[in-house]
Structure 1
Amino acid sequence: MLIRVSPYMTLEVQHLTRRGEVYQLYMRVPVDLVSKYGTKFIRQSLKTKDQREALQKLKPLVAHYQAEWDRLRADDRSIPAAISTDARELAKLLAENEGAADFLFEPRRVAYAQQSADPEDTYHNADPSAYLKPEEAQAIKLLEDGALDKPFLSDALGLYLKLHQKGSETKFRQGIQREWKRLIAHCGDIPCESLSRPQARSFVDQLLRTGLKTTSVRRTLRAINAVLNMAFQELEIDKSHPFRLLKIAGEGADASPAKVPSMGQLKSLAAALETKESTTAIIAAIMLETGPRIAEISGLRVSDVVLDAEIPHLRIAPNEWRDLKTASSRREVPLVGLSLKAAHKAVKQAGDGVALFPTYARSRGNDSASAAVNKLLKPYGITSHSFRHSLKDRLREAGCTEDIRDAIQGHANGSIAETYGKGHTLKTMRQWLVKAKVT
């Protein structure tokens, strides 16, 4: 399909077409795989009339089918994901309605046998895939193998969320469900024990084809491994699951170095932020001197900002709209310099409210906060996470020891001794933050 990107430029985009005003994916199935799909073409609505949105949706779908084709060629037992999922639903219906399979499929079995040289032998011995659609043949196989009584991938996820200590937390559930949905979209909702190594490898290939960096792919694999480890253990599946110890080609080689602003950049930015009253600017200003994760600031309650103490500080703790990344993330952090001034602004603007920043006091509000702050910082060539790296560097240059740096930024410390007692005091942390402050 030709896409006009400007009055002077037109691009040809493969696998994109339109039905009426709605964009569609349109791909020709490789000749050697037509029998597994039961069709020569794949058409799938992108459910949008917007050209830009259609192009964004197209890339991961194309990557999905290309990776699936690689897998189907590598593993003769595999079937397309969509057919696998449809087959399970059909098998359930057939199992619930006695005689339905014979009513639907017997006429086709008989007709196919009668066209052969030996009708009786063909009737009794022909593979159902010869006269049924791929999803129908797979449904019959599931019933014959008794596979409906075995745990499927969707069952493994349900078990994991039921048994995991964070399984009831919305953000945790959504994160795991998002990664698991990717897996089922790739290989279908199949029995756990049917999951194969070729499927695991082609899943990684698909993620890489969509443009994900290897660090993001590894994050997805960690989530999938966690679910499978529990499922294979609890369901007593007597084999190693195929995602175990899976390698990612070129892992880490595509990582971009963290963007750490210079002191000159920070001073220029601080001067600009000090004059602004927007929520986004105030969040950035608080982060500049304290170096937290953005969710730790955007999700604060007003009561978490303690300004009337001898040492003004933030209390970073879980609340109803956001959790913390780790147990060591719960802490108190002194406010100094620009961050202290910004905290006063934030409390004043919040008034009698509960949330310090009401706009972001919701599930996944930190994602919106991150996008807004990063947009503000884009002219400086940095992101909100740059403040975290910058403070660590400034503290290190000031001579601050690792354990105090970890206490300030909420990193887990490797020393068991550091977990005893009350930890480092606000006074100690403030001394180092004053030495490292920008303003």
Structure 2
Amino acid sequence: MQKITFRIGAFSVSVSYLQQRNTSGLYYYRRAIPSPLRHHYNGKRELVYSLKTKDLNAASQKAQELALQHNNEFELLRHNITPPPVFTIPPASPPPAQLIPAPADDQQLVTLAEVKANALKSYKGNKKKEAEIVRCFEYFKSLPPILSHIKKRDVLRIVESLKSDNQLKTATIKKAVGFISRQVKIVLQLHDSNTPNPFAGVPFDNIKKDAEKRHTFDTIELQKIKETIRKKSELITAQIIGLLYDTGCRNAEIGGLLLEDIKLDEPIPHVVIKPHEQRGLKNTNSERLIPLTGTSLEFAKFVKKTARPTEIYAFPRYFKDHKFKGDSCSAAVNKFLSGIVDQGTSHSFRHSLNTRLIESGATEMEIVSLMGWSREGMIHHYGKSRSLNFLHSVLESMHKHEKN
């Protein structure tokens, strides 16, 4: 039985069925339903009502009123007499055999299905994210449906099974567990529940040991690609590859560009990588300015020159309903590359540029600034204009090194 004790002068007074929530400070009326009467309440174990006050005296009076009502209600039900309806009584009904008993104490009936539904609701309309959410929860479909019945060891057992039986990469499983953990936390907060989160703090060892190593284009492959895209420069996929070639950008960063993001009339031609309504970025570190040099400058000029006067997007084919279709763009670019080289994807240009910069003597700070890997990039040290000038010289040094 929930009780709160407070002092009035020299006296100590205990108020039954009263509980104060730590998170909100509000008082709640909580009372267990006698076992023989639970079938009148759809199998519930207790009655819980918010008293909608943080004042102890006001809460005590309301709790006492509710307690008297329920004393009378329980007594009538014991004698098979239907009590008169009052606002505090939930609708009574016969006890369905399939009802799941309510959890004991302060554990509310939160299910994984509810967590999944809440996550899907948050990303409604984003088909890619919806599919990812369904896939994440599918991994853990064998867990008990009620969250309070799931133990961390149950999650660990499935993690090991996914690695051994399903041959999933550790990073893939960790991403799924992390996503579900965040969604569980949100739902538990909505319920103001103290139920432990079984997905939080699941340990992962050797996270990168089983990660697939990305292919890096060598000099011969890069030359073949350059020759091909120049011959087929009228193709959109060739133009995207041209912009990827010497910028080290991600496929979505280039494919989702607005025409105004390509700055050719500035003292140093560059591309602005920033989030916009039609296309976001992977993370906050990704927002940056990339100087246009070499092959990427050549194709940037071609894209701007051939664009229609009223066009907004650099590559309008991959926009539908004003949203960038990243999967379609990536698939098309990778298919085009597969006809030129035996292995490698659009992401290989990032790894290749990283290698090219290292071989030309670029520092770690210069590389992370170009790649958008670190918050401590050059732009945060030197300011926007000086950073752009400095990074331009870094890329020019790379081209000079390669010519030599």
Q: TM-score range by the shorter chain?
A: 0.5 to 0.7
Once the two structures are TM-superposed, the CA of residue 183 in structure 1 deviates from its matched residue by 5.3
Deviation sequence 1:143-181 (CA, Å, 0-9, x none): 58699963333444576799xxx9799589647734554
> What residue is the counterpart of 1:268 in the other structure?
224
List alignment gaps of at least 5 residues for structure 1: 1-89, 106-138
Following the alignment from structure 2 to structure 1, what is the Cα–Cα distance between the partners of residues 123 and 352? 34
Deviation sequence 1:351-376 (CA, Å, 0-9, x none): 12111111222446112211111122
2:326 paired residue among 354, 366, 385: 366
> What residue is the counterpart of 2:392 in the other structure?
430
The runs of at least 4 aligned residues of structure 1 exceeding 6 Å deviation read 144-148, 158-162, 166-169
> What residue is the counterpart of 2:30 in the other structure?
none
> Given that residues 306 and 312 in structure 1 are in contact (C-alpha distance below 8 angstroms), is that contact kept between their aligned partners in structure 2?
yes
Structure richer in helix, relative to its length: 1
> Given that residues 157 and 180 in structure 1 are in contact (C-alpha distance below 8 angstroms), is that contact kept between their aligned partners in structure 2?
no
Q: 1:185 to 1:353 in 2, by over 3 A?
A: farther
2:380 paired residue among 397, 416, 419: 419
Once the two structures are TM-superposed, the CA of residue 255 in structure 1 deviates from its matched residue by 2.0
Q: Percent identity between the aligned chains?
A: 27
1:285 paired residue among 242, 247, 252: 242
2:155 paired residue among 200, 224, 229: 200
Within a 5 Å distance, the mapping from 1:396-407 to structure 2 comes to: 396-407=358-369
Q: 1:236 to 1:419 in 2, by over 3 A?
A: farther
1:354 paired residue among 309, 312, 315: 312
Secondary structure at the residue paired with 2:209?
coil
> What residue is the counterpart of 2:110 in the other structure?
151
Following the alignment from structure 2 to structure 1, what is the Cα–Cα distance between the partners of residues 367 and 127? 28
Secondary structure at the residue paired with 2:300?
helix
Equivalent residue pairs, number: 307
> Given that residues 369 and 379 in structure 2 are in contact (C-alpha distance below 8 angstroms), is that contact kept between their aligned partners in structure 1?
no
Q: 1:205 to 1:349 in 2, by over 3 A?
A: farther
> Given that residues 152 and 192 in structure 1 are in contact (C-alpha distance below 8 angstroms), is that contact kept between their aligned partners in structure 2?
yes
> What residue is the counterpart of 1:226 in the other structure?
182
Deviation sequence 1:169-227 (CA, Å, 0-9, x none): 95896477345543564437x33322223431343245433342222112212212222
Following the alignment from structure 1 to structure 2, what is the Cα–Cα distance between the partners of residues 202 and 320? 41
> What residue is the counterpart of 1:312 in the other structure?
269
Q: Which amino acid aligns with 1:288?
A: Y
Once the two structures are TM-superposed, the CA of residue 272 in structure 1 deviates from its matched residue by 1.4
Once the two structures are TM-superposed, the CA of residue 332 in structure 1 deviates from its matched residue by 1.3
Q: Quick check: 1:385 aligned with 2:347?
A: yes
TM-score (norm 1): 0.60
> Given that residues 403 and 413 in structure 1 are in contact (C-alpha distance below 8 angstroms), is that contact kept between their aligned partners in structure 2?
no
List alignment gaps of at least 5 residues for structure 2: 1-41, 45-89
> What residue is the counterpart of 1:62 in the other structure?
none
Q: Quick check: 1:252 aligned with 2:208?
A: yes
Larger radius of gyration: 2
Cα RMSD over matched residues?
3.7
Q: 1:96 to 1:260 in 2, by over 3 A?
A: farther
> Given that residues 333 and 426 in structure 1 are in contact (C-alpha distance below 8 angstroms), is that contact kept between their aligned partners in structure 2?
yes
1:297 paired residue among 254, 259, 275: 254
Q: 1:205 to 1:404 in 2, by over 3 A?
A: same
